[in-house]
Structure 1
Amino acid sequence: MTHAPDDRHFPFSAVVGADGPDGPDPMALALILTTIAPEVGGVLVRGEKGTAKSTIVRALTAVLPPVDDRPVPLVEMPIGATEDRVTGSINIETALAEGKAEYQPGLLAKAHRGILYVDEVNLLHDHLVDLLLDAAAMGRATVERDGVSMTHEARFVLVGTMNPEEGELRPQLLDRFGLTVEVAAPRDPALRAEVVRRRMAYDADPAAFVAAYAAAETALRRRIGDAQALVGSVRLTDAGLLKIAEVCAAFDVDGLRADIVTARTAVAHAAWSGRAQVTLDDIRVAARLALPHRRRRKPFDAPGLEEDLLEQALGDDELPPEPEPDPDGPGPEPDGPDGPGADDAPGDDGSGPESAESPEAPMPEPAGAAGADSARAGSLPSSVAASGATFRTRLLTVRGVGAGTAGRRSRARTTNGRRIGATAPTGPGGAIHLTETIRAAVPHQHARGRTGTGPLVVRPADLRVAVREGRESNLVLFCVDASGSMAARRRMEQVKTAVLSLLLDAYQRRDKVGLVTFRGAEAAVALPPTHSVDAAAQRLEELPSGGRTPLAEGLLEAAHLLTVERTRDPQRRPLLVVVTDGRATSGADAVARSRMAAGLLAESGVTCVVVDCESGPMRMGLAATLAEHLGAEHVPIGEVSAEALVDAARRAA
């Protein structure tokens, strides 16, 4: 969908934070800088819901200088967009009716010289995110599909917004966004009141509100235009480039994309500030926007940037001015052992910045949740065990073939994957299966009046779309036994390591996850189903253990949660992973009630896996019995890892 700015858009300069006394806040500044220098690579805005992310992005077009006497286009990409809708494809009606392979432009072509906005970009399928980032980086899009082979310009500013609670982008994709900013609702009551005041004033009279900010909008538009004109002549000296390299090296970022983006952003900030040469302050601002998301070393690590390390890497001295060339003097001496810089390399005299190592960010540490859980459970004794190093797990899948959101776990009918047939379309979108469409139209040609060698007469009812089989993402619900028997002999540490490894696998396969725990006399939903695997890992690390084992309550709570989630998201098939030793010791008839609960889950048809945590030479086999009642796969905890599965297969062979 394409939008042109009008009076109905909330003014950019009216957003609280975009008009601060010290200049725009990081979100507004990042958006401005990437419009000054689109080669920066776009902006990813991360933040909780209700923080004006979408409002300020839509308002951005109104303050950008027009392109060819027309407003800058804003193209919004829906989450459910297909690849042919994004890149464009052959015009089916023209191809079938006139026999011409005519290209029908997609969203990338429509966004040329404008803004392409993707809300909830973290929910977009990875291959589409790859496609967008490739086009944004190259400034053009290549179409190779349905008999169309072409390349067209696609220079646009890519802006993505996301709520981390709904899941993260993979680090490989996160790194390819030029800049990223974290936003949150202000905690200052005065600022919160001002946000509400402006919103209510806008809702009461949009035209008058927009008019009140017209002068500020005009001034901002003029300043952005001036910066766009200046950016090409801003100088980044060798000293400035070296300082950028030192900062990126100090933060131990992978690859050189961080250096390039930081340099481009520093140049854009200098132009925004009206300077003809990059300063240390420009590099400081650029590093704060370009480096935090590139420091993410593990999937469960949160992006961030230590200010102390940044200041240490920048040093105290300002960048030396670049010497003006002497038109009458000799040319520059060649670099070499006796050339310039041989005796004054940075750090040789002790004045350069000290080297700073940046170890990998640690996994979340247990953070005081045990006390809160103990308070809720009365005097129930508990302890919190840490997890060990994660490992690659075996693949757990849902039975049958689904039709859910594309992912990497279970077999499903998806919009991508291998083509296995064709069917009549049930809605918009989907790749046309040309052969099957022609085959459906041929028997009706005589009845439709076609004679001789005239064009094939095709009706909408003849259209067939390809049926493809790929992989879907699932809801992986963990039901974890946190009772006292699990705390014995460091078993809980092994359990947390296994579940954390399965969570990492779910993260990589784009699954939704939930966590139910049971201990003492009750079960609780520790984490409702969410895309945020980070949140699940945090809750797991903080999970205390101790008390009796209410197995029936845990299974019933999981069954209830799955029922609710089936109503909310009917196409996402669930996978229930029960992590327990199979004991049931809480309340009268605990064993009978647990078997009854297992029977209810079995009747519902939910695919279950029981991860057996029992260990030692003397085993009761209760988890295996539970797996029989659930109709579930039984997996000893030592065989959760892929390596253990391979070793078992080798031993069997």
Structure 2
Amino acid sequence: MTTTPYPLTAIVGMADLRLALLLNAVSPAVGGVLIRGEKGTAKSTAVRGVATLMPHLAVVNNCRFSCDPAAPDPTCPDGPHEAEAGDVRPTRMVELPVGASEDRLVGALDIERALSDGVKSFEPGLLADAHRGVLYVDEVNLLHDHLVDLLLDAAAMGATYIEREGVSVRHASRFLLVGTMNPEEGELRPQLLDRFGLTVEVAASREPDERVEVVRRRLAFDEDPAAFAAKWAAEEDALRERIAAARALLPSVRLGDGALRRIAAVCAGFEVDGMRADIVTARTATALAAWAGRTDVVTEDVRQAALLALPHRRRRNPFDAPGLDEAKLDEILRQFEDEDDDPEPEPEGPDDGPQGPDDNGPDDSGPDGGPDGGGEPPQSSEGELPAPREERQPAPEPAEGEAAPQEAPAPGAAAQDAAPVAAADPFRTRKFDVPGLGEGAAGRRSRSRTPHGRTTGARRPRGALSRLHLAATVQAAAPHQRARGRTGRGLVVRRDDLREAVREGREGNLVLFVVDASGSMAARKRMSAVKGAVLSLLLDAYQRRDKIGMITFRGSGAEVALPPTSSVDAGAARLEKLPTGGRTPLAAGLLQAHEVLRVERLRDPSRRPLLVVVTDGRATGGPEPLARAARAAGLLAAGGTASVVVDCEAGPVRLGLAAELGRSLLAPVVTLDDLRADSVSALVRTVRNSNGNTSRRAA
């Protein structure tokens, strides 16, 4: 496998991505960049390419924490450092794997040596390696919550603290955070999202000529990486020199009051939370001016900085698409046209490459590409997020007691689809969890054995000891002190005495929705309420770090509308476009759910499922439809699937069929009204499994 990185200047197009990375190379204070885009769009390739262009660093000799010789950290674990010239080395780019352990990230203390020998032995982690460099997280949206918490602490404090049973270590940890993600796999936690200074969206080009150039360059690189890199060496050197020149100019750039007022007006106009947006936009505008070779920030710098720094800070809930209304941005900036405290921009703009905007150099190949693709933000896709809630204009609804439309009268008649109905506003739902104690991925729904949480017991270590249970260790060692010849005050501890803590926390589950989209649900008011309820449950799943899936049944069968995924946005989009009409093949929906869960148990056996069936309980089509539905429900119950039935039946006459389904599934039944967390009609909900065990959750 080659160690030669693909040259950044050889990537076709993707001007916004290259600009965001280069601005961070000019001014690390910008705060990093989050790269969002579909798979195969050269996100990782661009990050590795810019790392080779970063200036070299002076570091203290033999310091594992990359202390600056000019200002060494007085609390460095390898210190104190005497005044010395130090070494010069390239800036490091440290990659954080999604599945890394806590000790690999923050470092490991040897608890055994600390107890038996009184020696503080510390092995630095990735945060120490990344100090004064780049910390790169590929698929950052899949990072486990406990690692996200550690990243947030380090980013906020500029230092890493390791505490293990009274033994503590602290070291400086300031790094440029760069992450890539595919939005289809789920969104980031808002706290971590805000820590990225800039964000860009990339997508593969749809232009054949540009795609041909992408493939041509990639094949040439794979055939002979060294020769390909040599071909682009001159452009790489020119870009490296321009970064160094912009860094040298940066302290001289003036951010005038006029530019500051523009920044404040833009951030206030887009109603971003907090003041970090203003600060990042100001730093980005300053870096843009330095990149363009100017010492004054102009209006165009503010505009470009806002387009990079604000889109990901405008989300109000997980279903809001990131983005910025450029027309509104221009309207806000036009209010300052009469102010003349900013000089005219230079002919060369901040987006121009090192050879100028009209050069036919390698950066001008088109708007798109890279060794794996890349380019303009996607305009639309099947997974497009729903429109903001306030823009929906539902059609007039029938009266509350109006009968639902009848299903197709003839067995072979084609089902008449009703137009998709907008969902009602989401609300905070009751919490449902899976009974028992799991061992799945960290989350916020069901009880689980986790590396974090409250201590519930002790056991012998499995591998390296990281979570010492001190009381249990002392209790195990105490009976053997006389036999071991103890003479002093210290406790003689052997390896066999060590005990690690067993902790209990919360896990995320697979929440599989089975939604009735048949004609019996097609009354507009009812379907709007049903979609609002499912949307609320989707929001709850997002907050509890669940995976979700969705099955719909109508007409002649059931289909998997959304395979299990971490992308709640995709679930909301499928729900928004869900049509209704036709017969009610309830049994088909339940059998499809059984098959999906069977496959998911093979893929991820530790993630326990929660089945949410949204229906009025009716079943039509074929002989004995209700009996077949009951048998399908019994199959799910026999497999131990924890379930909840959301009863959508409405009107003055109710058949209670959803309650019958609940009994077959061994599941609680809640109405749409009971689903609300502020409802007082049902204070306790019970989820039963196939063995009759129960888990009671207070409202």
- TM-score tier by shorter-chain length is 0.7 to 0.9
Aligned to 2:690: none
Pick aligned residue for 1:399 from 435, 449, 453: 435
Paired residue secondary structure (2:206)? coil
Aligned to 1:506: 541
- The answer to whether the aligner puts 1:51 opposite 2:41 as a matched pair is yes
Q: 1:457, CA displacement in angstroms?
A: 5.3
Paired residue secondary structure (1:536)? helix
Distance 2:23 2:139 in 1: 22
- The answer to whether the aligner puts 1:177 opposite 2:196 as a matched pair is yes
Paired residue secondary structure (1:227)? helix
Closer/same/farther in 2, CA of residues 450 and 267 from structure 1, 3 Å limit: farther
Pick aligned residue for 1:285 from 289, 304, 311: 304
**Amino acid in the other structure paired with 1:479:** V
| Greater Cα shift, 94-103 or 595-604 | 94-103
Aligned to 1:314: 333
Closer/same/farther in 2, CA of residues 466 and 612 from structure 1, 3 Å limit: same
Paired residue secondary structure (2:434)? coil
Paired residue secondary structure (1:575)? strand
Aligned to 2:652: 617
Correspondences of 1:254-653 after superposition (within 5 Å) = 254-315=273-334, 317=337, 320-321=340-341, 361-362=388-389, 379-383=414-418, 384-427=420-463, 430-437=466-473, 439-440=475-476, 452-453=487-488, 456=492, 458-459=494-495, 462-488=497-523, 490-644=525-679, 646-649=680-683
Query: Contact 2:259 / 2:342 at 8 angstroms: preserved in 1?
Result: no
| Greater Cα shift, 539-548 or 120-129 | 120-129
Pick aligned residue for 1:92 from 100, 107, 111: 111
**Amino acid in the other structure paired with 1:193:** V
Query: Contact 2:421 / 2:524 at 8 angstroms: preserved in 1?
Result: no
Aligned to 1:147: 166
Query: Contact 1:34 / 1:42 at 8 angstroms: preserved in 2?
Result: yes
Paired residue secondary structure (2:289)? helix
**Amino acid in the other structure paired with 1:252:** E
Distance 2:173 2:413 in 1: 62
Distance 1:608 1:451 in 2: 58
**Amino acid in the other structure paired with 1:211:** A
- The answer to whether the aligner puts 1:224 opposite 2:243 as a matched pair is yes
Distance 2:274 2:166 in 1: 37
Distance 2:290 2:122 in 1: 39
Q: 1:366, CA displacement in angstroms?
A: 10
**Amino acid in the other structure paired with 1:298:** N
Query: Contact 2:514 / 2:589 at 8 angstroms: preserved in 1?
Result: yes
Q: 1:445, CA displacement in angstroms?
A: 7.2
- Kindly provide the CA deviation profile for residues 220-246 of structure 1, in whole angstroms up to 9, marking residues without a partner as x: 222212222221221100111111111
Query: Contact 2:111 / 2:465 at 8 angstroms: preserved in 1?
Result: no
Aligned to 1:11: 7
- Kindly provide the CA deviation profile for residues 6-41 of structure 1, in whole angstroms up to 9, marking residues without a partner as x: 9422222222226xxxxxx11121112123222222
Q: 1:563, CA displacement in angstroms?
A: 0.6
Paired residue secondary structure (1:638)? coil
Query: Contact 2:426 / 2:536 at 8 angstroms: preserved in 1?
Result: yes
- Kindly provide the CA deviation profile for residues 66-125 of structure 1, in whole angstroms up to 9, marking residues without a partner as x: 112111112111223344433335332431342123443232122101111111111223
| Greater Cα shift, 500-509 or 143-152 | 143-152
Structure 2 unpaired stretches of 5+: 59-87, 344-386, 395-407, 685-697
Distance 2:454 2:289 in 1: 49
Aligned to 1:337: none
Query: Contact 1:143 / 1:151 at 8 angstroms: preserved in 2?
Result: yes
Aligned to 1:329: none
Query: Contact 1:434 / 1:464 at 8 angstroms: preserved in 2?
Result: yes
**Amino acid in the other structure paired with 2:579:** P
Correspondences of 1:60-79 after superposition (within 5 Å) = 60-68=50-58, 69-79=88-98
Q: 1:422, CA displacement in angstroms?
A: 2.1
Aligned to 2:28: 38
Closer/same/farther in 2, CA of residues 183 and 365 from structure 1, 3 Å limit: farther
Aligned to 2:128: 109
**Amino acid in the other structure paired with 2:472:** E
Structure 1 unpaired stretches of 5+: 19-24, 324-359, 368-373
**Amino acid in the other structure paired with 1:466:** A
Higher relative contact order (CA 8 A, sep 6+): 2
Paired residue secondary structure (1:283)? helix
Aligned to 2:152: 133
Closer/same/farther in 2, CA of residues 455 and 303 from structure 1, 3 Å limit: same
Q: 1:568, CA displacement in angstroms?
A: 1.1
Q: 1:151, CA displacement in angstroms?
A: 3.7
Structure 1 vs Structure 2 CA RMSD: 2.8
**Amino acid in the other structure paired with 1:610:** V
**Amino acid in the other structure paired with 1:179:** L
Closer/same/farther in 2, CA of residues 57 and 105 from structure 1, 3 Å limit: same
- Kindly provide the CA deviation profile for residues 558-594 of structure 1, in whole angstroms up to 9, marking residues without a partner as x: 0001111111111111000011111111112212211
Distance 2:457 2:104 in 1: 21
Distance 1:366 1:523 in 2: 29
Q: 1:469, CA displacement in angstroms?
A: 0.6
Query: Contact 1:47 / 1:163 at 8 angstroms: preserved in 2?
Result: yes
Q: Percent identity?
A: 61
Q: 1:507, CA displacement in angstroms?
A: 0.8
Query: Contact 1:84 / 1:431 at 8 angstroms: preserved in 2?
Result: no
Distance 1:425 1:9 in 2: 41
Query: Contact 1:576 / 1:606 at 8 angstroms: preserved in 2?
Result: yes
| Greater Cα shift, 225-234 or 501-510 | 225-234
Aligned to 1:213: 232
| Greater Cα shift, 490-499 or 574-583 | 490-499
Distance 2:305 2:527 in 1: 44
**Amino acid in the other structure paired with 1:256:** M
Distance 1:313 1:187 in 2: 33
Paired residue secondary structure (2:673)? helix
Distance 1:539 1:320 in 2: 50
Closer/same/farther in 2, CA of residues 195 and 625 from structure 1, 3 Å limit: same
Q: 1:467, CA displacement in angstroms?
A: 1.3
Aligned to 2:80: none
**Amino acid in the other structure paired with 1:11:** P
Q: 1:43, CA displacement in angstroms?
A: 1.1
- Kindly provide the CA deviation profile for residues 333-355 of structure 1, in whole angstroms up to 9, marking residues without a partner as x: xxxxxxxxxxxxxxxxxxxxxxx
Distance 1:432 1:194 in 2: 56
Distance 1:204 1:118 in 2: 28
Q: 1:451, CA displacement in angstroms?
A: 5.8
Paired residue secondary structure (1:478)? strand
Query: Contact 1:408 / 1:472 at 8 angstroms: preserved in 2?
Result: yes
**Amino acid in the other structure paired with 1:581:** D
Paired residue secondary structure (2:35)? strand
Q: 1:127, CA displacement in angstroms?
A: 4.6
Query: Contact 1:88 / 1:103 at 8 angstroms: preserved in 2?
Result: yes
Closer/same/farther in 2, CA of residues 119 and 436 from structure 1, 3 Å limit: farther
Closer/same/farther in 2, CA of residues 229 and 192 from structure 1, 3 Å limit: same
Closer/same/farther in 2, CA of residues 39 and 148 from structure 1, 3 Å limit: farther
